[in-house]
Amino acid sequence: MPYTFPAGFLWGVAGAAHQIEGGNVNSDSWVLEHVPGSPFVEPSGDACDHYHRYPDDIALIRSLGFNSYRFSIEWARIEPEEGEFSYAALDHYRRMLEACHASGLTPVVTYHHFTSPRWFAAKGGWEVLANADYFARYCERATAHLGDLIGAACTLNEPNVGLLIQHMGHMPGDEAMLNASYRRAAARAVGSDDFAAFPNCRHAPARDTFLKAHRLAFDAIKAGPGSFPVGLTLALVDHQAAPGGEAARDAARAAIDEPFLETARHDDFIGVQTYSRMRHGPDGVLPPEAGVPVTQMGYEFWPEALEGTIRYAHVFTGRPVIVTENGIGTENDADRIEYVRRALRGVQHCLQDGLPVRGYCYWSVFDNFEWSQGYRPKFGLIAVDRVTQTRTLKPSAEWLGQIARANTLAD
């Protein structure tokens, strides 16, 4: 049976400033991308030049059939030096928001999507609890300038992702992170004693700063202007227990997700961002199961994970859910369509069971800068020529746009 989604369901595409804007030279990531021993395989460079091309990009997103666009505003541009706010940068994001409204897209704004200004990293970044106040002040100033045009807001993007990746064994532990040569090289490059950027910070101390920063930011954004839902987004894998792995699964949830889900109980919604599952055995995380294909990121192709994480996040928090990210890195666009079709079936099942799921944003609108892995993974509905910046629609863009326009998932 075809399934029609609730009226007003948000159908969006998602992106993030540093991954698509290009030339984000004042960010902590830019510094790390250029130091000797950089953990990045290549620099972000021009990215998708979205900073200049947003009018055409927004019109393109709308023309495909979507009714929402999730993007992030860049702290490194808005507050280039401590306490110095750029009205030119804020006006840029105001024009983006106006372009969304003019074309009929509800803007979902992320205040922090991994990158921070250099000066913030030089002050110890997220490792220092008191630094939460800087983030709150930035949120207050940005909201003062933009709030009347925001449709929904995410404070922090995936503050738990470092804990998750460490748990998967794909990132060194906190002590190794502290002693990484690129961290010292970055500190030298900006003339400071230390340099703690989001990807290379010690995630155990950072956790408490994130939790504090989120609450302060929530209040700052709620002070207005504007009246729109505010929430947190989390990197949620569907934790599954193989026989005997129940305790390991529960321990992983308690360490990676639950402190954040706990605070989200006080929010307007919880942003669920899911790409795959994680299986736990008696001795910890299990490798991909034999016979299950893996994506370009090395994750199991497991679109059903989304249904599991929506249920988990909603039951834990009691809050409405927006799927703020779901997608797949693949060169094979038919696999993307298959992945999203199955993930949307999961959303359908949740809705049919009465769960308040308010929207679905595909990650990502463009093939873009996938952080340390550079431009190799292809998450986009739209391909981007790295030299000419020409945009080319993939079949999945039109396929998903058609579902969005019809608000219906066909058989």
Near ligand GCO by CB under 6 A, which window of 75-83, 116-124, 155-163, 183-191?
155-163
158 touches ligand GCO by CB under 6 A? yes
Tell which one of 16, 48, 64, 122 touches ligand GCO (CB under 6 A). Answer: 16
| 141: Cα separation from own chain's centroid | 22
Q: How far is the CB of 7 from ligand GCO (least distance, A)?
A: 28
Q: State yes or no: residue 370 binds ligand GCO (CB under 6 A).
A: yes
Query: Which residues, in sequence order, are CB contacts of 233 under 8 Å at separation 6+?
Result: 110, 154, 156, 157, 158, 271, 272, 273, 324, 325
Under DSSP, the state recorded for 288 is: P
CA nearest 238: which of 177, 175, 326, 121?
326
Q: Scan residues 221-240 and list those touching ligand GCO (CB under 6 A).
A: 235
Residue 355 Ramachandran class (φ > 0 left, ψ -120 to 50 alpha, else beta) = beta
Closer CB to ligand GCO, 31 or 161, in the complex: 161
Complete edge-to-edge strand list for the sheet that includes strand 277-281: 238-241, 277-281, 284-285
Which residue number, 5 or 46, has a Cβ lying nearer to ligand GCO?
Answer: 46
Q: Which of 360, 379, 384, 397 touches ligand GCO (CB under 6 A)?
A: 379
Considering only the stretches 157-165, 259-267, 381-389, 403-411, report the one whose residues sit in contact with ligand GCO under the rule CB under 6 A. 157-165
Work out whether 367 is an interface residue with ligand GCO (CB under 6 A): no
Whether the CB-CB separation of 108 and 115 falls below 8 Å is answered with: no
Separation CA 135–CA 114 (nearest Å)? 12
- Give the one residue of 155, 273, 295, 326 binding ligand GCO; rule: CB under 6 A: 273
Considering only the stretches 3-11, 154-162, 243-251, 334-342, report the one whose residues sit in contact with ligand GCO under the rule CB under 6 A: 154-162
Shortest separation between residue 51's beta carbon and ligand GCO, angstroms: 17
Tell me if residue 289 is catalytic.
no
Contact between 156 and ligand GCO per CB under 6 A: no
User: Is residue 161 part of the contact set for ligand GCO (CB under 6 A)?
Assistant: yes
Amino acid at 330: T
Pull the structure tokens for residue 361: 């944003």
Should residue 21 be labelled a site residue for ligand GCO when binding is judged by CB under 6 A?
no
CA distances from 160 to 92, 114, 146, 198, 208 (A): 29, 11, 27, 11, 11
Q: Report the DSSP beta bridge partners of residue 81.
A: 84
Selected catalytic residue, list 79, 158, 300, 307: 158
Q: What residues does 361 pair with on adjacent strands?
A: 12
User: Binding to ligand GCO by residue 366, rule CB under 6 A?
Assistant: no
The site for ligand GCO (CB under 6 A) is made up of 16, 19, 157-158, 161, 235, 273, 325, 363, 370, 379
Active site residues: 158
